[in-house]
Amino acid sequence: MRILYVCTDADIGGAERLLAMLGRHRDPRDRTRLVVLMGRGTLSEELDAAFDELAYLDTPPSSRDLPGMVRALNAQIRDFAPDIVSSHLFHADLVTALARTSAPRTTTVHTHGFGPADHPLTRLIARAVGLLSWRFAAVIPSSDSPEMARFIRSLRMRKVVAPILNGAEIPERPSFDPASRTFVSIARNHPVKGHDVLFGAFADVAERIPGWRLRAYGPGVEPGDERMRQLLRETGAVELAAEGRIALAGPTAHPEQALAAASALVISSRYGETSPLVGAEAAGSGVPVITSDIGNCRQFADDPRFAVPAGDRAALAEALLGYARLSDEERGALSAAARRRAEERYSPQRVANDYRAVFATLVEGSRKR
């Protein structure tokens, strides 16, 4: 099977890292090409290694040249002659929906909603994709949560198939160190990720857990970023950052290395999260998770005390404090539970096989018509 994947950009994000995983675990009989609407990004090296072929259309991020993007994708389709086209993220979905191809098309829905910080154009594009969803042979949710079902209905998407939840690469052995006293966050700099809630919650309990630190990774999560500096000021966390107890570590293409030093992963998202890859990666490393209770995120918390209402600074602070006050043995038990869950649920080969099964069914059906 010849599979053409289409994505908006090549920067570090859940959809892009899912694509890298699908490329690595492809069926050896298949031929794959990834088309990226924009240019090379922070995940390009990993994507280059995952796919048989990779093409960048080099569209500027601010471009509104939709006809030009469609023409460029049409050229890729003619050159590769795919049996199926799999699109990811709404900008890529719109271009894919408008492209000319006789091959079946699929789209994967990677979010279950928008917030005030999301650009109006992104909302408009999502609505357009919903209206054009009849051009896709399958709409694949990445979550089986009620929030995802409501979001898909709100966009009036058609041809929705069974969800495929994310998995992750599972290390040969867990890396969890019960002696670690570091909370880790791995999330891009965007209001959806709730860094204000995260910094504020840690600031609220820092005096009561003096040996603990917070290390935040992600694109734009850096000391020189003005938004990050503003959030530290607004949440009363400037002094903690100056002391090194809050560290803004920037992007990482190797989350397993960040997780190796973590006592717990904190997912502080305010909305939109479906089944984030990083939660599955933490489980594979045996790292317990403290998370917002949205989408499928609650599955990552093996103790219900550590799934808290999204956007609730006080609740997250209480969860951080409660986790820090556990014994090493109690944290070790949570680590073991996370690792078992990863081995049972998050196999990357399972995810790749599930996607390929959908693709194969659609290809077979198109050939019978």
Query: Which CATH number does the domain housing residue 226 bear?
Result: 3.40.50.2000
What pLDDT is recorded for position 266?
98
Determine the residue type at 92.
A
Enter the pTM of the model: 0.92
Structure tokens at 177: 């160190």
Q: How many angstroms separate the CA atoms of 175 and 158, rounded?
A: 42
Structure tokens at 217: 């990774």
Q: How many CB atoms lie within 10 A of CB 32?
A: 22
- Within 8 A by CB and 6+ apart from 124, the residues are none
Clarify whether residues 143 and 13 are in a common domain.
Answer: yes
Residues of the chain with pLDDT under 70: none
Clarify whether residues 359 and 294 are in a common domain.
Answer: no
| Pick from 347, 310, 348, 296: nearest CA to 142 | 296
The number of distinct structural domains making up the chain is: 2
| Pick from 116, 118, 54: nearest CA to 91 | 118
What pLDDT is recorded for position 80?
98
What pLDDT is recorded for position 22?
98
In the three-class reduction of DSSP (H, G, I as helix; E, B as strand; rest coil), residue 159 is classed as: coil
Clarify whether residues 10 and 114 are in a common domain.
Answer: yes
Q: How many angstroms separate the CA atoms of 238 and 246, rounded?
A: 9
Clarify whether residues 32 and 145 are in a common domain.
Answer: yes
Clarify whether residues 234 and 314 are in a common domain.
Answer: yes
Clarify whether residues 148 and 63 are in a common domain.
Answer: yes
| Pick from 23, 25, 26, 24: nearest CA to 34 | 23
Clarify whether residues 211 and 71 are in a common domain.
Answer: no
Q: What is the 3-state secondary structure (H, E, C) of 224-291?
A: CCHHHHHHHHHCCCHHHHHCCCEEEEECCCCHHHHHHCCCEEEECCCCCCCCCHHHHHHHHCCCCEEE
Clarify whether residues 210 and 150 are in a common domain.
Answer: no
Phi and psi angles of residue 209, each rounded to the nearest 5 degrees, phi first: -130, 70
Structure tokens at 147: 């929030």
Span 55-64, pLDDT tens digits:
999 999 989 9
Q: Which domain holds residue 16?
A: 2-167+348-368
Q: How many angstroms separate the CA atoms of 364 and 369, rounded?
A: 9
In Å, what is the CA distance from 242 to each residue of 139, 209, 229?
Answer: 47, 17, 11
Clarify whether residues 310 and 205 are in a common domain.
Answer: yes
Clarify whether residues 66 and 80 are in a common domain.
Answer: yes
Residue for token digits 């951080």? 320
Clarify whether residues 192 and 123 are in a common domain.
Answer: no
Confirm if 315 and 194 have CB atoms less than 8 A apart.
no
175 occurs within a structural domain: no
What pLDDT is recorded for position 151?
96
Span 310-341, pLDDT tens digits:
999 999 999 999 999 999 999 999 999 999 99
What pLDDT is recorded for position 367?
83
What pLDDT is recorded for position 118?
87
353 occurs within a structural domain: yes
50 occurs within a structural domain: yes
